Amino acid sequence: MDYKRLAEDIIKKALKLGADEAEIYLENNRDFELTVRNGDVETIKQATSKGIGLTVFKEKKLGFSFTSDFSDQSVDEFTKKTIQLSEVADPKPWNGLPDFGKQETKDLNLYDSSIAEIPNEKKIMMAKEAEKIALAYDKRITKSEGGYFGDSETEIILVNSKGLSRSSKRTGAYFGVGVVAGEGNDMQSGWWSSSKRHFMDLDNIENVAKTAGKRAVEKLGAKPVETQKAPVVYDRYGAGAFWYGILFAMMGDSVYKKTTYLMDYLNKSIAPDFITLVDDPTIPRHVSSVPFDGEGKVTQKNVLIEKGMLKMFIYDTIIARKAGVKVNTIAWRSGYRSIPSAGFLNVIIQNGTVDRDKIISEIKNGFLVTGLRGIGTDIPTGNYSCGASGFWIRDGEIAFPVDGITLGGNATDILKNIEVVADDLDIRGGLNSPSFKISEMIIGGKK
Amino acid sequence: MRKYFKPIPRRKFLKASLTGGVIVATLPVWKIFSFTDPPQDFHVNPACNLSKETLEKLIKIALQRGSEFAEVYVEYNVGNQIYLEENKIYGAGRGVDMGVGIRVLHGEKTGYAYSDDLGFEKLKQTAEVASFIAAEAEVKEPVGLKAQKIPQYYMVKVSPDSIVPKDKAKLLWKANSVGREYDQRINQVNVSFADTNKKIIIANSEGTWMEDVQTLSRLMVSINAIEGEKRSRGYAYKDGTLGYEHYDLKVAEELAREAGRIAIAMLPAESAPAGEYPIVMAKGHCGTFFHEAIGHSLESDGIRKKTSCFWDKKGKMIASEVTSLADDGTVPGSRGTINVDDEGTPGQETILIDKGKCVNFLYDRLNAKLMKAQLTGNGRRESYQHYPIPRMTNTYLLAGNDDPEEIVKSIKKGMYIARIGGGNVSWVTGRFVFSVPEGYLIEDGKVTKPLKGIQLMGSGPEVLMNIVMVGPDLEIWGGGTCGKDGQGKPVSDGNPTLKVSTITIGGAKV
């Protein structure tokens, strides 16, 4: 089926049926995933699926529907129903399709045609190998949560009645493993994985597997510490949730509604001058890169925090119009089942210059965070209270694993108290941070 | 506010009555197989009504490489949503999902394929892909399909899908105006109504063949209040496997008042002190804790794989003697309720912990077979795009004998957890953190000032041992969507008033 043609036909139909504006977001997917456990294949899952999301505006009123039923009769009914839905909404002056003018998408090399040809035997071998190496990493590893491999191919078509017409094909390949160390009341799990657009970019199996093993074993015997104030180092792979607490506070909608602690901080300093935070979904081949966002806008690198200064809030087109601002931040879309909303795709906190081990070696008594339980930030007030696990640092060295404590404070204070950033940035996902040290935080634990 | 009262076990009810305990209302329909028909006003795309012959053909193809078991799952799902914010109907949305998932089991192996194209050729290919999991083995002849009647625990007369958005909007407007009038300090009211209407057909190589229509609905009110620098939020909702006849303007008004009450009550809240304290969990609103911190560790996949902290605990004491825990898919109208699970096993009540002793786990078909256990009706899947895994339904702590007032009075300094919010739990270690959207200080046996930023921390197995008092006032209430292995599933939970002798509170204050 010619999906672009189908999308254009639905737009025409919608306009004929009374819509002032219409947009189609069409997704066509192929997915494969297998899991192995204890050396044997456990599940194989394979499928194709598709769907369309239709947004219409009629007299500035919004209607939205999605369907996975592409039959002619259903599509007619679907278009009619979507316009009827718009009739119940209230008109808003800022409603309507975005207008980007002329923009050319760049080829970010996100499609690997070889992925479809990888034989299942090879995929099974990779998952089995990862599991085998992780299980053998240490004698204290007792159980497997399984190894896995998956790959996918996604085609996105975005067409609207203002003449926008975009399409993109992306692939993905990933594998990983989870193991459990210990027995009885002291069990710890460790997971690690690698996820890329191109098969050949996947990390070395041995490194991934050993990382999973290490992460399980090193946490054995974790215990809470006493309640106290102490310096805290956020590990690069454990800091993601902390930054989400900052990013969610930068959402334009919350700024407009005055429900975020950062609402008065635009163009003001919120962090030391060595903190720069960007959203850059344009890195070629990267797993979090896309050529255009959920509204069809060509992606670009946006500097959100520059040298400690909060430079922009994050808006989609409709919220930006409502708030009367002009921005180029990302409109995020989870798929054809939803309409776009403000978001981010590939956040990078600028790398530091100091070796992480050196930072730790200078701490007499402190805490290294490697895992956070949730975001911990109350967006309206900035109150920060987050469950954490990691390691205690004593006399400049890792002393013992810690779990069952909370980190407390206020997000604005914590940001200002970033003392130093390490040079260990590793761009591997959608939120990439080097390790960094906070001069002092409240650690809530045993009395 | 909807409240489903669950009758307490007979022996406990007698005791509670003798000590002048709380009067517990019971629903007359409790556990009676009513065989009422699903709502007639929900229209399914006829393409989804695969014939008996088609289902049998697909099962046969799926078995062609010699597997033990094959199953076809057909789904047609319509979702509707309408949302109000800033004194305006923001918009209304509708979505249709349909497709077929075909599963083949072979020993510990699962082959799964799905398609959203319901043409026979495409379905045939799907069955073939699923069959590949089997090694060449003797081909088994499937048992002919026999239609099965199923019990009916949903409370649906009028399908919410048959109600036009304009009518649903009236509920939203009512809640909005009541919420805004509740108090001057209220600056924001958001209201939404959402429903999903799902028809499923399940057929397998053992002859099982049934269909079910699953309806879920929810009216939710969220209110923000502001006073100077202080901000707070309150929310309230009614939801369940409920038809539209359960919603009216009065319900909308009650929800708005409840959300307003919480927002205003929490406005002067002070930061909670960190440390170790005894806590009281209020009836009905803290069941999420038992679902997350205990229930997941009792699901049979983690038990079989020995990755759960309870894998070797069957028959052993894992909780204090006053603690009994159950999962029950048959609570009438509750959000986690199921007539049958997504493998065709009828919903049932399963006692997991009986007076402290671990007595059972939650099973799907695969794990029950591998572990030689009885099915419990807990094989659930998000949609045709997923294979079933062991999942909870409605999970709750059973009633005890302690007077709820005495429970609060027994605490000199501690916290009253009026409702529990979101949490994060490791099912391997049982370690958890939960936020508390409504909590109060207890001083000298009395509930006093509101507290914000309470974080409950600890490990599930530890807390189970520290439950020292349990009231007779079990309520199963509300619920949400639980995520596991990338699959979301509606669940509910409940609890009576109870006391935990000590728990770590992580607050922002030392």
Burial code (b: 16+ CB inside 10 Å, e: under 16) for A272-309 equals beebbbbbbbbeeebbbbbbbbbbbbbbeebebbbebb
Residues of B in contact with A377 (CB under 8 A): none
Per-residue model confidence (pLDDT) at position A447: 66
Count the helices and strands in chain B (H runs, E runs).
Answer: 10, 26
Kindly determine whether residue B94 and residue A82, on different chains, have CB atoms separated by under 8 Å.
yes
d(CA A107, CA B428): 43
A209 and A251 part of one domain: no
* pLDDT level of residue B423 (50, 70, 90 thresholds): confident
Per-residue model confidence (pLDDT) at position A72: 83
Q: Is the pLDDT of residue B432 over 60?
A: yes
Q: Is the pLDDT of residue B1 over 90?
A: no
- Provide the ipTM: 0.89
> Distance, in angstroms, between B378 CA and closest chain A CA?
19
Per-residue model confidence (pLDDT) at position B38: 61
Q: Is the pLDDT of residue B30 over 80?
A: no
A161 and A254 part of one domain: no
- Global pTM exceeds 0.80: yes
Q: Is the pLDDT of residue B206 over 80?
A: yes
d(CA A428, CA A236): 11
> Distance, in angstroms, between A63 CA and closest chain B CA?
6
Question: Which CATH number fits the domain that encloses residue A212?
Answer: 3.30.2290.10
Kindly determine whether residue A442 and residue B93, on different chains, have CB atoms separated by under 8 Å.
no
Total Cβ atoms within 10 A of residue B146: 12
CB distance B147 to B79 below 8 Å: no
d(CA A214, CA A398): 15
Per-residue model confidence (pLDDT) at position A33: 95
What are the start-end ranges of the H helices in A203-334? 205-217, 240-247, 252-256, 317-323
Q: Is the pLDDT of residue B25 over 70?
A: no
Kindly determine whether residue B274 and residue A92, on different chains, have CB atoms separated by under 8 Å.
no
Q: What is the pLDDT of residues B438-495, one digit of tens each?
A: 999 999 999 999 998 888 988 899 999 999 999 999 999 888 899 888 899 999 999 9
A204 and A244 part of one domain: no
d(CA A193, CA A179): 12
Kindly determine whether residue A409 and residue B508, on different chains, have CB atoms separated by under 8 Å.
yes
Q: Is the pLDDT of residue B9 over 60?
A: no
Kindly determine whether residue B433 and residue A40, on different chains, have CB atoms separated by under 8 Å.
no
A154 and A276 part of one domain: no
Q: Which of A217, A245, A276 is the endpoint of a domain?
A: A217
Residue B381 main-chain phi, psi, to 5 deg: -140, 155
Kindly determine whether residue A43 and residue B224, on different chains, have CB atoms separated by under 8 Å.
no
Each residue's pLDDT expressed in tens, for chain A with a length of 447 residues: 799 999 999 999 999 999 999 999 999 999 999 999 999 999 999 998 999 999 999 999 999 999 998 888 889 999 999 999 999 999 999 999 998 888 899 999 999 999 999 999 999 999 999 999 999 999 999 999 999 999 999 999 999 999 999 999 999 999 999 999 998 778 899 999 999 999 999 999 999 999 999 999 999 999 999 989 999 999 999 999 999 999 999 999 999 988 899 999 999 999 999 999 999 999 999 999 999 999 999 999 999 999 999 999 999 999 999 999 988 899 999 899 999 999 999 999 999 999 999 999 999 999 999 999 888 898 988 989 888 999 999 999 999 999 988 898 899 999 999 999 999 999 999 999 999 999 999 998 876
Residues of B in contact with A405 (CB under 8 A): 457, 506
Kindly determine whether residue B274 and residue A444, on different chains, have CB atoms separated by under 8 Å.
yes
Tokens of A309: 């200064």
Per-residue model confidence (pLDDT) at position B37: 61
A67 closest CB neighbour out of B95, B305, B453: B95
Per-residue model confidence (pLDDT) at position A184: 77
Per-residue model confidence (pLDDT) at position B16: 33
- Helix or strand (DSSP H, E) at B72: strand B69-85
DSSP state, residue A136: H
> Distance, in angstroms, between A107 CA and closest chain B CA?
30
Q: Is the pLDDT of residue B338 over 90?
A: yes
Burial code (b: 16+ CB inside 10 Å, e: under 16) for B335-354 equals bbbbbbbbbbbbbbbbbbbe
Q: What is the pLDDT of residues A126-146, one digit of tens each?
A: 999 999 999 999 999 999 999
Kindly determine whether residue B111 and residue A40, on different chains, have CB atoms separated by under 8 Å.
no
A89 closest CB neighbour out of B89, B126, B429: B89
Per-residue model confidence (pLDDT) at position B45: 86
Per-residue model confidence (pLDDT) at position B509: 60
Q: What is the pLDDT of residues B53-98, one digit of tens each?
A: 999 999 999 999 888 999 999 999 999 999 999 999 999 999 999 9
DSSP string, B455-469: EEEEEHHHHHHTEEE
Residues of B in contact with A74 (CB under 8 A): 45, 96
Tokens of A247: 């990013």
Q: Which fold has domain B46-266?
A: PmbA/TldD fold (3.30.2290)
Percent of chain B with pLDDT over 70: 91
Using a 10 angstrom Cβ sphere, with 0-12 exposed, 13-18 middle and 19 or more buried, the burial of residue A317 is: buried
Closest residue, chain A, to B310 (C-alpha): A184
CA dihedral A429, A434, A439, A442 (to 10 degrees): 20
CA dihedral B406, B412, B413, B417 (to 10 degrees): 0
User: Which of the pair, B6 or B274, is modelled with greater confidence?
Assistant: B274
Q: What is the pLDDT of residues B108-154, one digit of tens each?
A: 899 999 999 999 999 999 999 999 887 767 788 889 999 998 999 99
Helix %, strand %, coil % of chain A (to 5): 25, 40, 35
CB distance B279 to B408 below 8 Å: no
Per-residue model confidence (pLDDT) at position B400: 96
A341, A334, A336: which is closest to A53 by C-alpha? A336
> Distance, in angstroms, between A354 CA and closest chain B CA?
30
Residues of A in contact with B274 (CB under 8 A): 227, 406, 408, 442, 444
Using a 10 angstrom Cβ sphere, with 0-12 exposed, 13-18 middle and 19 or more buried, the burial of residue A264 is: exposed
Task: Report CA Rg, chain B.
Answer: 24
Residues of B in contact with A88 (CB under 8 A): 82, 89, 92, 164-166, 169
> Distance, in angstroms, between B478 CA and closest chain A CA?
22
Percent of chain B with pLDDT over 90: 75
Average pLDDT over residues B321-340: 97
Using a 10 angstrom Cβ sphere, with 0-12 exposed, 13-18 middle and 19 or more buried, the burial of residue B370 is: middle
A144 and A210 part of one domain: yes
Q: Which of A217, A242, A277 is the endpoint of a domain?
A: A217
Kindly determine whether residue B429 and residue A187, on different chains, have CB atoms separated by under 8 Å.
yes
Q: What is the pLDDT of residues A362-404, one digit of tens each?
A: 999 999 999 998 888 989 889 898 889 999 999 999 999 999 8
B453 closest CB neighbour out of A37, A227, A385: A385
Residue among B76, B88, B96, B308 with most chain A CBs within 10 A, to mutate:
B96
A67 closest CB neighbour out of B86, B96, B431: B96
Per-residue model confidence (pLDDT) at position B356: 97
CB distance A393 to A366 below 8 Å: yes
A85 closest CB neighbour out of B111, B113, B165: B165
A167 and A100 part of one domain: yes
* pLDDT level of residue B42 (50, 70, 90 thresholds): confident
The pairing of strands B413-419 and B275-281 is parallel
Q: What is the pLDDT of residues B242-271, one digit of tens each?
A: 999 999 999 999 999 999 999 999 999 998
Kindly determine whether residue A42 and residue B509, on different chains, have CB atoms separated by under 8 Å.
no
A240 and A206 part of one domain: no
A42 closest CB neighbour out of B88, B109, B506: B109
Every domain of chain B and the residues it spans = 4-30+270-480+488-505, 46-266
The residue type of A269 is S
CB distance A150 to A130 below 8 Å: no
Q: Total structural domains in chain A? A: 2
Total Cβ atoms within 10 A of residue A163: 9
B93 closest CB neighbour out of A64, A188, A228: A64
A174 and A229 part of one domain: no
A140 and A89 part of one domain: yes
* pLDDT level of residue B26 (50, 70, 90 thresholds): very low
Helix %, strand %, coil % of chain B (to 5): 20, 40, 40
d(CA A209, CA A191): 8
Taking one residue from A and the other from B, the number of pairs with CB-CB distance under 8 angstroms is: 213
A36 and A154 part of one domain: yes
Residue among B123, B131, B185, B455 with most chain A CBs within 10 A, to mutate:
B455
Kindly determine whether residue A373 and residue B432, on different chains, have CB atoms separated by under 8 Å.
yes
* pLDDT level of residue B13 (50, 70, 90 thresholds): very low
Domain, as residue range, for A82? 3-217
A320 and A197 part of one domain: no
What are the start-end ranges of the H helices in B298-340? 300-304
Per-residue model confidence (pLDDT) at position A340: 94
d(CA A129, CA A125): 6
**What is the pLDDT of chain B when averaged over all its residues?**
89
Q: Which of A217, A240, A262 is the endpoint of a domain?
A: A217
A65 and A88 part of one domain: yes
